[in-house]
Structure 1
Amino acid sequence: MRRSSSSLPTSRLAAALLLSTAPIFTAHAQDSAEKSTTLDRLVVEGDSISASPVGPDDGFVADNSATATKTNTPIDRVPQSISVVTRDQMDMQGADSVGAAVRYTPGIRSEAYGADTRYDWFFMRGFSAQARGLYLDGLQLRSQAFANFRVEPYGLERQEVLLGPSSALFGAGSPGGLINLISKRPQEDTFYRASVAGGWPKKGEVALDLNAALPGHDGVYARFTALGRLGETQVDHVDDNRLYLAPSITFKPQAGTELTIMGKFQMDRTGTVTSFLPYDATARPASFGRIPTDFFSADTNFDRYDRNQMMLGYEFEHEFENGLKFSQDSRYSYISTEYETLYGVGLVSSYLPGYPDNLLARQALATDDSIGAFQTDNRIEKTFDTGPVGHQLLAGLDYRYEVFDNRSGYGDDPSGNFYIIDILNPVYGINVQRPAYSTDSTTRSHRVGLYVQDQIALTDRLDVTAGLRHDWVSSRFDNHLTGSRTDRDDTALTGRIGASYEVLPGLRPYASYATSFDPLSGTDINGNPFDPETAEQYEVGVKYQDPLDRFRLTAAWFDLTRENVLTNDPANPNFKVQTGEVRSRGIELQAQANLAERWDIVASYTNYDLEITRSNNGDQGMVPIGVPQQMASLWVNHRFGGQLEGLRVGAGVRYVGKSYANAANTLTVPDYVVADASIGYRFDKTELSLNVSNLFDKHYVAACAGQNACYYGDRRNVKAKLTFEW
């Protein structure tokens, strides 16, 4: 059965595009003065044109980005909120995960479910985004069930956070935005780095980053990044072990032609840090107090999360003599996970009154999931003028093929005792029966997207960016337990249009409108596949880029509505209908600065108004569960001079507002504040550093996904590292 969806009504889009072109004709008639070239107006001013959107940055302030437009565009000329976390910022803050790296970024709630060694959970503008909103080098890392891609941050050059609907360029995805991780890749300079590290919780780590031009081969550069870690976690009996290997090689046979091949292998051996714990005994005390943060809710005989992750891909670009540029990014990604654990389902006293409240009921889970995905993104880019109007035109075709194998099962204690564990006196090493699979299926999906974008310089100060994309999505679901098969097809038209105007040197107000879509699985009571979820957003903001590139200030206000949300069918409680709607409005502020070559500063503030505006679940008018509506952060780093040359000291503070643990918003998860600190000393080519997150060892509940699913945040984490260069 064929279903179609258009998240941007054609009439509305046509009207928006018509309005966007009106100033072009006005400019033709009114502005006959000589203008700078399109390249000057659209790409970069002055000598910063060489700034790479994927290369290393010096300090906390990145100049350009390729994420928001898929072209090398200055961040201040993008009519959408985008923040870049540079390699320097990750190093100074000691970020050991993707989530930790964006702690000081507005609009994103990282580490949404507290301490976790399995996944990087994050919400963007109030909506869950980790499954559909994680990208690596512009290509999606789409997670399914318990097969969740997790990228080692040591292998990254930067992390770019693009907020709001982005389907106009990237296709199906989260309405709140995406994180695009940029890999380290070969550089023309030769350098070799090695580090050893240790910390608390107990861990040991070694890392290598080796880069060189291959002798005897002009224009050939190679890089090898590797990391090995053996460690414990804040939860008893759970390890955090990893092996990461990332070779890459770049060929530059001639000016304008470049091929980079990148491989990644990652092996994780860990378990369940994120325990499902009850609201009573975590967010508020039970009769015995609160459950300790090191409490292990599973069993030593039945808890493991084993992940193997492999990627191989390339990036190719060639610029023709006429200025036409062709780019192709392709990658095959594979992940397999084996996971078995016992997780909490609530205090026994909540099911059987009269029992003591220190007994936790548990259920067994066993899964074996894998994803294999090939994707390619092909783009043609041309910069040209039509009279006094400059254009940077981009046209692209991307394709993704994915095979998802899902096997999982849930089981109760066959003895009828609910795998009960005494929180105060836990006993481990019990006999747990691995549950039989209740799900055994394979889903094959094809996604094709055709898109076009024009970055238009109407004047030296006024830019307009407009884009359209059409997607075709097909999938086949095979249920191996029943032998049934379900086929579905979806289409979607999405778009984006925005404008910015430089009112003063470096000061650019902007406004934009964007849409997105995301296909859903499942059917209604009549067996019809659900339409994709859709979203639309209005955003206005202002960006100020210091002419000397020392700092950037940004402010944004947005109104984002997510539609076609699943909600209960009033006439058939066991089925769903698509009449739900959630609205997110808010403001986001950020400052990033490199001042006087000695001070690095990053500050952010986020304030949301989240509301479930349509629902049959009894939660209409409420705030979604587990999402804070206020966040703020500040990090300051100082590098000393004179007799203290080589010494740096940094400190930060993070605030996360209250959230709710139930749909009725009667159970509140308290807000919290944590502090971080860093100190480092560099002498010659050796650096010694010490990073401490949660400096004062604050005990807090990060969030609850329900009354019986609360999660503790990270306790104090200390890491000392010695780095050598040669």
Structure 2
Amino acid sequence: MPKTIHACRLSVLSLAIFSTFTAQADSLSAVETLEVRGQREAYRGDFDYLKSPEAIFEINSQLIDSTGAQGLTQVLDLSSSVTRQNSLGGLWDSFAIRGFFGDEDVPSGYLVNGFNAGRGFSGPRDVSGIERVEVLKGPKAALFGRGEPGGSINLITKKPSYESASELTLTLGSRQQRRVEGDVNGALSEQIAGRLVGFYQEEDSFRDTLEIEKHGVLAAFRYDHSDRSTWSYELEYAKQEIPFDRGIIALQGNFDFMPIERFLGEPGDGPTTTEVHGHQIQWQYAFNDNWRLSSGLAFRQTELDSLSSDADVSPSRQKLYYDGKTLTRQHRQRAYDTDQYVGRVELSGELSTGSVVHNIMLGIDYDRFEFDRDYRVARAPSLSTMPSDEQLYALNIHNPVYGQFTPPTPSPVTVRQQNQWATGIYLQDQITLTDKLQLRVGGRFDWLRQTTDDRLSQQSAKQSEQHFSPQLGLVYMVSDNWSVYSTYGEGYRLNFGTDHQGQGFEPNQSESSEIGSKWSLFDNDLEVTLAYFDSEQTNIIVADIEHPGFDSAIGKASSKGVELDIAGQLPADINVWFSYTYLDAQVEKDSIDTGLYVGIKAGDDLLNIPDHAASLQLSQYYRVSGRPLTVGTGLQYVDERLGQRGSDFYLPSYVIANLFAEYDITDRWQVKAQIHNLFDRKHFTNSYTQMWVQPGEPRRIQVSVSYYL
């Protein structure tokens, strides 16, 4: 089916759903409904901003909508504590928090409503259906279990309510971007509310020959069984067709070596296809005003299928290093499947022992992750054999002719089934010792198990671990709007793969100490957090020197720095979001890189981690012809970063400016516009090697029209 017809049909379908759902909600508008009740966020506790001994940066739906960000990576750019990492040619979201990242060969994990739910291969996350994004800094294993070493990203989805509200948005933008999104919410009965969000998007890339197409549906239902009992269910489905794109080549640090538009892969490989099916069901029960039970189950299934042609980085095979024009390529095939099952039960509440008040969370959870990986590669012969251009699967980077050679057939490299199980119990108690002093103590004990079945070597491995993760925090209220805090936490994550003996690796571990100060200003409209942290990460996977071809979990790194986050409203109807981070992140132990097999020395910078990063978003509210108008600007600064381990190859620093505005034409019609990269600055967001450098997007203009009912 032609894409334009597909888009039209989906648009008609969206309108039909929009109309039907709205009509159903309107038919119930005259029915007496239950009072709207707030739904407490599960698994995080209910702590005042000033009394929480941790740094959190929230990016709400207002900021997401205003800036026009449509993917999770673009949203996380608004937090300077988060930096982009190797996304495997744009196939998934990959990021570091406070300089630390997990496994480069799999997507970065994130939470959805407190559930571990981002470990699979669902492609870059679209933010439709997301109410806000929380950047939870520092290790969170004591509460959530295994996770990314520098912190956690928690996505809070849009919840249904009994108030009828519907929205249909059409977006047109540069490079033939076409996007339609619908959001319908309302009462289905006196006790049931529902919400449906759907989207479809297609566009051309600024990279030659590449196109992107994606669509998805998110549905949520809420059933208020009684004043004390609430059930909720959420469905997630998305499918994407995205190109595998390793970017450009910046040979010997020359970023003008080739145009940023030039694609070095093979259009005939077709797009990479990703698909996700997810379900969450939760039950919350209030025993009384102080005690609540939160429980939930989640299941998420993802698939990724890909063919790709990209630059070979080995000097023994790469002809480009010698003649400056002939690119040796490898042909790769991937078929990844994951299933994840999560269960969680938590009891939380408050009790007093004399003059001391305890705010307690006690819980147990279960997490099962199944990863079926089939990875195949065809590589060229060594240059010493004098191979032909066809044997090199070569491409002239200055005058590419696609489809010139038949792609070689990939051979199996990794065909493996890996399963992980984790069962944990945790306890957190925030103790109010006096009106000014609070102490948080907590810990978590996990029973971990992992099995690996290697179908190529016909070897199997089993691994069992027990792990305790403590946390400790202290908060002192200097005044009603000023607090200081200190905290300590640890984190862990199981490492994928096996060593030379076929045994699983020791878990990757991190620990962090932090001191900070928080202010709540202008009648609590503005929140300010200043923090200093010092972190260490151990058991990082590196190459095994004594057993070539195998890996070992002996790597070590450190990260320390200062963060300043400001978010809220200033006088004169000015909204501000500001985030600045200074980072000193480096290798702490000599080792060998697993991908390029180059030496890494203690004191080397960590890959793609800038010393300085900042993001500023400012907007102001006006009234024009009696209607509300919001105009804003955004700036993002990223310092230079190491672009290839074991080298002096650095990506240049950059500043990107954006503009955005929204105007309510009537009560039901709104128009929005954004200009990203206003001055069309050439910049590079991340890299793995000088042969795989990701260029940032040139200027983009987007205009959206929304209809509200």
TM-score, normalised on structure 1? 0.86
Name the residue aligned to 1:411: 378
Structure-2 change in CA distance of 1:235 and 1:349 (3 Å): farther
Amino acid corresponding to residue 681 of structure 2 in structure 1: K
Contact 1:347 1:359 (8 Å CA) reproduced = no
Name the residue aligned to 1:672: 654
C-alpha distance in 1 between matches for 2:321 and 2:59:
52
Query: Mapping of 1:383-422 within 5 angstroms?
Result: 383-412=350-379, 417-422=391-396
Larger deviation: 637-646 or 598-607? 637-646
Cα deviation for residue 521 of structure 1 reads 3.0
Contact 2:320 2:327 (8 Å CA) reproduced = no
Name the residue aligned to 1:131: 107
Structure-2 change in CA distance of 1:76 and 1:336 (3 Å): same
Amino acid corresponding to residue 674 of structure 1 in structure 2: I
Name the residue aligned to 1:655: 637
Name the residue aligned to 2:384: none
Amino acid corresponding to residue 386 of structure 1 in structure 2: T
Contact 1:661 1:668 (8 Å CA) reproduced = yes
Name the residue aligned to 1:368: 335
Cα deviation for residue 142 of structure 1 reads 4.3
Contact 1:52 1:72 (8 Å CA) reproduced = no
Structure-2 change in CA distance of 1:419 and 1:304 (3 Å): same
Name the residue aligned to 1:14: none
Q: Deviations over 1:418-460 (max 9, x none)?
A: 2211122111134223413332221222111111111111122
RMSD: 2.3
C-alpha distance in 1 between matches for 2:640 and 2:463:
41
Contact 1:611 1:622 (8 Å CA) reproduced = yes
Name the residue aligned to 2:510: 535
Unaligned runs of 5+ in 1: 1-49, 55-65
Larger deviation: 421-430 or 550-559? 421-430
C-alpha distance in 2 between matches for 1:51 and 1:102:
27
Structure-2 change in CA distance of 1:665 and 1:585 (3 Å): farther
C-alpha distance in 1 between matches for 2:180 and 2:561:
42
Cα deviation for residue 183 of structure 1 reads 0.8
Structure-2 change in CA distance of 1:148 and 1:491 (3 Å): farther
Name the residue aligned to 2:696: 713
C-alpha distance in 1 between matches for 2:573 and 2:261:
40
Name the residue aligned to 2:20: none
Cα deviation for residue 226 of structure 1 reads 0.4
- Choose from 160, 164, 175 the match for 1:190: 164
Name the residue aligned to 2:584: 609
C-alpha distance in 1 between matches for 2:358 and 2:263:
58
Cα deviation for residue 190 of structure 1 reads 0.9
Q: Deviations over 1:449-485 (max 9, x none)?
A: 1111111111222122111001111122112233322
Q: Does 1:594 align with 2:584?
A: no
C-alpha distance in 1 between matches for 2:591 and 2:246:
30
Structure-2 change in CA distance of 1:261 and 1:201 (3 Å): same
Query: Mapping of 1:320-335 within 5 angstroms?
Result: 320-321=287-288, 323-335=290-302
What SS is found at the alignment partner of 1:614?
coil
Cα deviation for residue 291 of structure 1 reads 1.7
Name the residue aligned to 1:637: 619
Contact 2:85 2:687 (8 Å CA) reproduced = no
Contact 2:174 2:700 (8 Å CA) reproduced = yes
Q: Deviations over 1:164-212 (max 9, x none)?
A: 1110011111210111001112012110110111101211111110001
Larger deviation: 617-626 or 170-179? 617-626
Amino acid corresponding to residue 458 of structure 1 in structure 2: L
Structure-2 change in CA distance of 1:53 and 1:558 (3 Å): farther
Contact 1:690 1:719 (8 Å CA) reproduced = yes
Amino acid corresponding to residue 662 of structure 2 in structure 1: G
Name the residue aligned to 1:24: none
Contact 2:123 2:275 (8 Å CA) reproduced = no
Query: Mapping of 1:440-479 within 5 angstroms?
Result: 440-479=415-454
Amino acid corresponding to residue 436 of structure 2 in structure 1: R
Name the residue aligned to 2:191: 219
Query: Mapping of 1:41-80 within 5 angstroms?
Result: 70-80=44-54
Amino acid corresponding to residue 115 of structure 2 in structure 1: L
Name the residue aligned to 1:267: 239
C-alpha distance in 1 between matches for 2:319 and 2:225:
73
Cα deviation for residue 543 of structure 1 reads 0.7
Q: Deviations over 1:238-275 (max 9, x none)?
A: 21111111121100121121111110110101112443
- Choose from 509, 530, 544 the match for 2:484: 509
Contact 1:505 1:547 (8 Å CA) reproduced = no
Contact 1:306 1:337 (8 Å CA) reproduced = yes
Contact 1:369 1:407 (8 Å CA) reproduced = yes
Structure-2 change in CA distance of 1:319 and 1:582 (3 Å): same
Contact 1:366 1:434 (8 Å CA) reproduced = no
Contact 1:512 1:539 (8 Å CA) reproduced = yes
Name the residue aligned to 1:278: 249
Name the residue aligned to 1:294: 261
Structure-2 change in CA distance of 1:660 and 1:350 (3 Å): farther
C-alpha distance in 2 between matches for 1:652 and 1:204:
24
Q: Does 1:382 align with 2:382?
A: no
Contact 2:460 2:502 (8 Å CA) reproduced = no
What SS is found at the alignment partner of 2:662?
strand
Contact 1:142 1:149 (8 Å CA) reproduced = no
Larger deviation: 409-418 or 161-170? 409-418
Structure-2 change in CA distance of 1:284 and 1:221 (3 Å): same
Name the residue aligned to 1:544: 519
Q: Does 1:240 align with 2:216?
A: no
Amino acid corresponding to residue 439 of structure 2 in structure 1: V
Name the residue aligned to 1:423: 397
What SS is found at the alignment partner of 2:605?
coil
Cα deviation for residue 526 of structure 1 reads 4.5
Cα deviation for residue 225 of structure 1 reads 0.5
Cα deviation for residue 655 of structure 1 reads 0.5
Contact 1:348 1:355 (8 Å CA) reproduced = no
Amino acid corresponding to residue 94 of structure 1 in structure 2: G
Name the residue aligned to 1:93: 67
What SS is found at the alignment partner of 2:260?
coil
Contact 2:93 2:108 (8 Å CA) reproduced = no
Query: Mapping of 1:480-495 within 5 angstroms?
Result: 480-495=455-470
C-alpha distance in 2 between matches for 1:576 and 1:301:
34
C-alpha distance in 1 between matches for 2:158 and 2:702:
23
Structure-2 change in CA distance of 1:94 and 1:115 (3 Å): farther
Q: Deviations over 1:38-60 (max 9, x none)?
A: xxxxxxxxxxxx98665xxxxxx
Structure-2 change in CA distance of 1:292 and 1:356 (3 Å): same
Name the residue aligned to 2:670: 687
